[in-house]
Chains A and B, each alone.
Chain A
């Protein structure tokens, strides 16, 4: 993890995380109450289920300045709504390959299953994703898009 001095000078990624309420959000909460140290770059957006996550949310996050996005939910067979995460799994399998085909670096998009008891896993997901995006640099290519025509 970068030192405080390093953080003021170097690029710090802005990360958005779309997480499900029942598993990952609770897992993230556990990470917090356990006082686990992790990269502070992630803004969490809580949804009832990964099945609710429209790929447009991810696109919007990139449009509005996110350098990296995390999508996380319950493990298969643990979904609070039974099958939401199975639908999400299919949807995001296609989405991930599509955005890579269009030229988005794959390291900017992270998917994970993190359960309510996996505070340490959440810390690892956050730290790894942030480190990968920090290495890649800001997603200027996306933000520059609007300026190119008028």
Chain B
């Protein structure tokens, strides 16, 4: 990691440079109605760094809510298939929250697991991620418990830390190195220990209030907790609405549909889906192995904190807390994890104290 700094004036100029060269720049910014989303910006003043957490995560820039896979047209001698491109225009994400950047890297594991997802990695290759160290959001954050943190550079190419009117810019990856090199006139070399000390003081404060959740113990409990009564209790309020999965940085399940557009042509697409929907596991026979919300909520927790880590060595969660904030029925994942932690503790209570 070699440290640079960038002044706000230079950051503004950098965004102008990128936009002028045709690069799409995405940053947290206020939408109509005042809420913050990750959106395209054309100038730095539009960005809203470190205010509310953007409503959605970064996953839609790599796995869009709907994405064509190919299209077909009948006619002439047969069927003509039109492929979609797997190379994408340059894209810079500026001001990503560390929890969101880390999630993208976690998803690389499953996207490159048994087959390399060309669309996902095509977008990954075209995108440079500059994160900003986070002051924390509210009591639903638990990024430190997932092995990340408000100053974590996992998943980022360049990590920015705000220090008054200057950002400390740590280069994290070779792609980040290339980016800084190509825009070298906007960056200065970092000077002095005071700069790096100030950075860690600012961001460590955000980590202090977060819950301590021993996820390895949670994982061990989950391996044997399939039939526990906990699931039917915590799922009582759950509507199966899927809001949690849509805002989650790491949920990535999708449905594939063939969409005719008239008689002769159509498009095969993949669309976001959620294991919380009742029909997610409905068989053609009508049988549903996850027939009620308790089974579906159990699946979500198990996938994130036992199944994915068993296969890929990482929990499928970065502790951003969006699921707890989005849930209109008060189902609270940090609370569920705390409950499991208590159940997993030696001599812990037999029943969930819900």
Which A residues are within 8 Å of any B CB, using their own CB? 64-65, 146, 149-150
Contact = CB atoms under 8 A, between A and B. Distances in A.
Most B CB contacts (10 A, CB to CB) among A64, A65, A149, A150 go to: A150
Interface stretch (B42-50, B63-71, B216-224, B337-345): B63-71
A5 B68 CA distance: 40
Nearest to A64: B262
Interface of B: 64-68, 261-262, 269
A143 to B, nearest CB: 9
12 contacts: A64-B261, A64-B262, A65-B262, A146-B261, A149-B64, A149-B65, A149-B66, A150-B64, A150-B66, A150-B67, A150-B68, A150-B269
A149 B66 CA distance: 7
Contacts of A65: 262
A150 B64 CA distance: 8
Given A150-B64, A150-B67, A150-B68, 9 more contacts: A64-B261, A64-B262, A65-B262, A146-B261, A149-B64, A149-B65, A149-B66, A150-B66, A150-B269
Contacts of A150: 64, 66-68, 269
Contacts of A64: 261-262
Contacts of B64: 149-150
Nearest to A146: B261
Nearest to A149: B66
Contacts of B67: 150
A64 B261 CA distance: 7
A63 B68 CA distance: 18
Contacts of B269: 150
Nearest to B260: A64
B42 to A, nearest CB: 19
B32 to A, nearest CB: 16
A53 B64 CA distance: 35
A149 B67 CA distance: 8
A65 B260 CA distance: 13
B265 to A, nearest CB: 12
Contacts of A149: 64-66
A150 B123 CA distance: 13
B258 to A, nearest CB: 14
Contacts of B66: 149-150
Nearest to B259: A146
Closest 8 CB pairs of A and B: A150-B67, A150-B68, A150-B66, A150-B64, A149-B66, A64-B262, A149-B64, A146-B261
A149 B271 CA distance: 11
Contacts of B65: 149
Contacts of B261: 64, 146
A144 to B, nearest CB: 13
Nearest to B64: A150
B268 to A, nearest CB: 12
Nearest to A150: B67
A55 B66 CA distance: 25
Nearest to A65: B262
B217 to A, nearest CB: 42
B138 to A, nearest CB: 31
A146 B267 CA distance: 11
B85 to A, nearest CB: 11
B175 to A, nearest CB: 25
A146 B65 CA distance: 13
A25 B203 CA distance: 73
A64 B262 CA distance: 6
A65 B66 CA distance: 22
A149 B68 CA distance: 9
A65 B262 CA distance: 9
B130 to A, nearest CB: 25
B2 to A, nearest CB: 38
